[in-house]
């Protein structure tokens, strides 16, 4: 039974395990991502996240306690310089584990990448792109597209809206529109072209 055994000893003595996690934490801080086994990554996450939380408070005491764990001046400088500024407003969860499909050739161990969340440029760019897209909703885009099409057909509807005085304008709910039925494999754009 393993009741209450929360620490994965990773098949190492205590001193070896602490030295390994210290070195891996320094590598993660310096390089922002490390490829390792899933078991080591989970142990590293428990080891490095409290250090990152302490780095938010830039005092002499916090620097000394973090240095006692890392034993590396370069990683300490990087941690309190660039990383602490990026994670200042994050309440936790500074690391991400991405499991890889390939296993290690020697012992078939599951491999993964552990990385700092705020330093993955591709995911940050994708997040910013989705935030930019989320400013317009699907309904407003579609209604705007139909309004343009109706304006082009009628020819004067856009001019009438522009000439109306702003003080007397009252907004009304949009009229109900009929829903389009799509056949298998047909997109909405193709259905609108067919009409």
* Mean pLDDT of the 98-111 span: 95
- Distance (Å, whole) CA 68 – CA 77: 14
Q: Which CATH class is domain 14-121?
A: alpha beta
User: Contact 84/55 with Cβ under 8 angstroms?
Assistant: yes
Counting Cβ atoms within 10 Å, is residue 93 exposed (0-12), middle (13-18) or buried (19+)? exposed
Give the domain ranges of the chain.
Answer: 14-121, 130-161
pLDDT at 157: 47
What is the structure's pLDDT at 120? 85
**Span 151-170, average pLDDT:** 52
pLDDT score, position 145: 56
pLDDT at 153: 53
pLDDT at 103: 94
DSSP letter (8 states) at residue 175 = P
Q: Which tokens in the block code for residue 21?
A: 């996690």
What would the pLDDT profile of 19-77 be if each residue is shown by its tens digit?
999 999 999 999 999 999 999 999 999 999 999 999 999 999 999 999 999 999 999 99
- Our CA dihedral for 16, 12, 109, 118, rounded to 10 degrees, sits at -40
Tokens of 157: 């509807």
pLDDT of the residue at 127: 82
């Amino acid at each position: 039974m393993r009741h209450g055994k929360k620490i994965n000893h990773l098949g190492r003595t205590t001193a070896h395990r602490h030295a390994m996690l210290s070195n891996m934490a320094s590598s993660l801080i310096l390089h922002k991502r490390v490829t390792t086994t899933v078991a080591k990554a989970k142990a590293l996450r428990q080891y490095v996240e409290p250090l990152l939380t302490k780095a938010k408070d830039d005092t002499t005491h916090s620097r000394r306690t973090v240095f006692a764990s890392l034993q590396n001046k370069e990683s300490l400088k990087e941690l309190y310089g660039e990383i602490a500024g990026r994670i200042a407003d994050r309440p936790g969860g500074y690391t991400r584990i991405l499991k890889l499909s390939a296993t290690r050739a020697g012992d078939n161990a599951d491999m993964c990448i552990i990385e700092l969340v705020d330093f993955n440029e591709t995911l940050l760019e994708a997040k910013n792109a989705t935030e930019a897209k989320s400013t317009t909703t699907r309904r407003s885009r579609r209604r705007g597209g139909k309004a343009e099409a109706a304006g082009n057909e009628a020819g004067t509807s856009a001019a009438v809206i522009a000439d109306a005085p702003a003080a007397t304008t009252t907004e009304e709910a949009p009229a109900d529109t009929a829903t389009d039925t799509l056949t298998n494999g047909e997109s909405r754009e193709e259905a609108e072209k067919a009409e």
